[in-house]
Chains A and B, each alone.
Chain A
Amino acid sequence: MNLKISPNRLFDVLTKKKTVLAILTVLFVFPLITPSRYSMNLLAGVFIWALLAMSYDLLLGYTGLVSFGHAALFGIGAYVSVLLILPPYNIPFLPAILAAMLFGALLCLAMGVFSLRVKGIYYALVTLAFAEMIYAFFIKWVHPILLKKETLRVPVPDFVKSTSFFYFSVAISAAILIILYIAAFRDLIKKGVLARTKILYAVLMIVFLALLIYTAPQKLHFISEGSVKDKLPTNMYFFALMPLTICYLIANRIVNSPLGRIFVAIRENEERAKMLGYNVFKYKLISSSIAGIFAGLAGALYAPFLLSINPDTVLSALVTINVLLFSILGGLGTLIGPMIGAAIITIFARELSSYFVIELFGRELSLWMLALGVFYALVILFLPYGIVNTLRWKGASIRKAFKGLVKSIKISALRKQPATEGTL
């Protein structure tokens, strides 16, 4: 591996995926544009779920391991980090997160060692059994007997409450913005780029910058002068976004690496991979560890976000079901698919659940869960491969169909003939 990177090469590497950079920039700069506490909070939750969904994609989408116990990794990550932060251990936040990641990996390894010895479907069942046992263990013993309370309060780490963290995040956002602008600028002056692209870039850059200049100072002032209550949502936003970004970049590297291709080979044809000399069991364990690390991290981030944890919020099968839904909706095997799925469902859940209340038999009923179930079934029926995969493979035919539709509308408009005449 060539460790010597010149500044130019750095730019080339960073801007290879310009779209990713652009999206990152928007995400990082977004808090400076909007003051809304609600959206900060909502999106922070989205980022954490996205991280969990991405970890699940590594396991299921890339290695083909159908795990029904992912909630356990998430929940253990949350509990480990919280229990270490609280007395009697009083460990500082960062080591606690690392511990949570470690436990996540170990747990997934343990589940794997037991369940990977047998054929496919049994892995699903054993992971399910494990997760349910851990859940029952927490509900029936840890909370009533060890902790003696129903939920565990989580203290927010001090640095998340501070203004310096906010400034630090703003600095990072500014850096990303500058990198994007430099990349876009280089495109502007490059010879081979089309004129209309250049104009588009220029317009976008100017508009975005103007918006930023208009809103950012107020936001900066607001946060730096404000109380902890004002700072916390925005800091939480960055607190969730930064690990997500780093993990995504790492996961992306892994997936395109030789190791990642081995995972894919295992998913595609395990028997063949074995006969090619790959110790499939070993690689499944490696995949499990990586997924466990990310899932544990997600759990450790979720705890201070939610401010209190109990088995129902972090260890229940509902967590696994949600993550499954995110992944299937977005598309397995894409890394970004499950993240998009997480975003869509989490945001819609918050926004729309209030509309699903009806009056029936004199009672107020929430039809939201039913709607979610129906939505879930529809997604599986019509988009069994998820949004991203369907767009990737059918994108061409969707565009063709769309163009064909537009064309036929144009033609019938030109001819001004009723549908019964002519042979269109």
Chain B
Amino acid sequence: MVVITPEMIVVSIIDGLAFAMLLFLIASGFSIIFGLLGILNFAHGAFFMMGAYVATTLFAYSGHNFIAALAGATLIGILLGVPIEYFTLRRLQGNPIAQIMITLGYLLIFTQIVSIIWGTIPQGGAVMSLPPSLAGSVTVLDRPVPTYRFFLIFFGLIIAASTYLFLTRTKLGTIVRAGTEDAEMVEALGINVKRVFILTFGFGAALAALGGAAAVPWIAATPEIGTSWLFISLVVTVVGGLGSFKGSFYGSLLIGVLHQFAVYFIPQLTFVIDFATMTAVLLIKPEGLFGERK
């Protein structure tokens, strides 16, 4: 057990917020995809993981260009997400179990692909180093905190804000929000729901991949991050509310901070904290903090 000091608490909160932003990047897409398409997209973990690995490769081959790595990763998310939705998930409309199963299949497949293609990389996982502006650390209350954490918080908030504005202020965003409530109704209004599905799926995948890339300087890319981050984003989504964008944001904050607290103060129980929170929410307010009983 680690001694709990005020500095530790502040640092763990900062870490928690940064972690929460990464969680938000993967969980928001997962939540909206569930709300709109009704699919529990296990492949989301695969998007995150592929984003991370592709970013490391792009980083290495582009002469250590951090931005290129992030951008490329986002692109990979779209390139993977759109065909998956179009060619496979669409085929299985009406068979939700099969849809969930095949996304699980993709998770397994990509985990294997990653092991095979990038398997030769050293034990700690694939890494990226940060550009000088983001590297180094900032001193907070006499303790060093990597600058990158603050960048993540900043970056995540920007993405959250833009997505929120998109969802609430644009026509397409409103359609997406309406679709998460009642996709049939939206179709009845004459809107091509299928196109919205693809766009949303691709966007969610892109966000997840971006999250994976942004996570690399902190956690390094290993084959198991696909599964482990999927689990945590599942917890976040359940806590925040399946299908709720706001829920995925606040859920990420809650789980992110709690998780980091656990990592700092009770490391053996981090696993349990995540699932205990999820079970508690499921028992008290099963549809999630911001979810709606359907």
Contact = CB atoms under 8 A, between A and B. Distances in A.
Do A and B have CB atoms closer than 8 angstroms in the complex?
A: yes
Interface of A: 60, 66, 114-115, 117-119, 121-122, 124-126, 128-130, 132-133, 136-137, 140, 321, 324, 328, 332, 360-361, 363, 365, 367, 369-370, 372-374, 376-377, 380-381, 384
Given A361-B120, A370-B113, A114 B101 contact: no
A114 B234 CA distance: 18
Contacts of A361: 119-120
Interface in B218-241: 231, 234-235, 238
Interface stretch (B7-15, B88-96, B167-175, B194-202): B88-96
B279 A129 contact: yes
A6 B221 CA distance: 70
B283 interface: yes
Contacts, number: 98
A140 B271 contact: yes
Nearest to B116: A365
Nearest 10 Cβ contacts at the A-B interface: A118-B286, A373-B109, A370-B112, A377-B105, A373-B108, A384-B98, A136-B271, A380-B102, A376-B105, A129-B275
A114 B91 contact: no
Nearest to A118: B286
Given A328-B98, A367-B112, 11 more contacts: A118-B286, A118-B287, A119-B294, A125-B238, A132-B275, A136-B272, A370-B109, A370-B113, A376-B105, A377-B88, A380-B98
Contact of A374 (B109, B272, B275): B109
Nearest to B277: A129
Nearest to A114: B283
A384 B120 CA distance: 36
Given A140-B268, A377-B106, A381-B102, A129 B278 contact: yes
A121 B40 contact: yes
Contacts of A324: 101, 104
B97 interface: yes
Contacts of A132: 231, 271, 275
A369 B102 CA distance: 15
Contact of B101 (A118, A126, A380): A380
A328 B102 CA distance: 11
Contacts of B293: 119
A114 B279 contact: yes
A12 to B, nearest CB: 38
A384 B92 contact: yes
Given A117-B286, A124-B40, A380 B92 contact: yes
Interface in B235-287: 235, 238, 242, 268, 271-272, 275-276, 278-279, 282-283, 286-287
Contacts of B268: 140
Interface of B: 40, 88, 91-92, 95, 97-98, 100-102, 104-106, 108-109, 112-113, 116, 119-120, 231, 234-235, 238, 242, 268, 271-272, 275-276, 278-279, 282-283, 286-287, 293-294
B282 A118 contact: yes
B91 A381 contact: yes
B105 to A, nearest CB: 4
Nearest to B97: A66
B156 to A, nearest CB: 25
A125 B283 CA distance: 12
A122 B278 contact: no
Contacts of B294: 119
Interface centre among A60, A114, A130, A133 (most CB of B within 10 A): A133
Contacts of A133: 271-272, 275-276, 279
Contacts of A373: 105-106, 108-109, 112
A70 to B, nearest CB: 14
B248 to A, nearest CB: 15
A122 B286 contact: yes
A108 B199 CA distance: 39
A363 B118 CA distance: 12
Nearest to A371: B112
Given A124-B40, A328-B98, A380 B105 contact: yes
Nearest to B34: A121
B116 A114 contact: no
B89 to A, nearest CB: 10
A137 B272 CA distance: 8
Contact of A365 (B88, B102, B119, B275): B119
Contact of A321 (B104, B238, B276): B104
B57 to A, nearest CB: 14
Contacts of B282: 114-115, 118, 122, 125-126, 129
Contacts of B104: 321, 324
A279 B257 CA distance: 41
A78 B95 CA distance: 33
Contacts of B97: 60, 66, 328, 332
B272 to A, nearest CB: 6
Contacts of B40: 121, 124
A328 B101 contact: yes
A367 B116 contact: yes
A24 to B, nearest CB: 31
A360 B116 contact: yes
Contacts of B242: 121
A124 B95 CA distance: 15
16 contacts: A117-B286, A118-B287, A124-B40, A125-B278, A125-B282, A132-B275, A360-B116, A361-B120, A370-B112, A370-B113, A370-B116, A373-B112, A376-B105, A377-B102, A381-B92, A384-B95
Contacts of B276: 133
B94 to A, nearest CB: 10
Contacts of A119: 286, 293-294
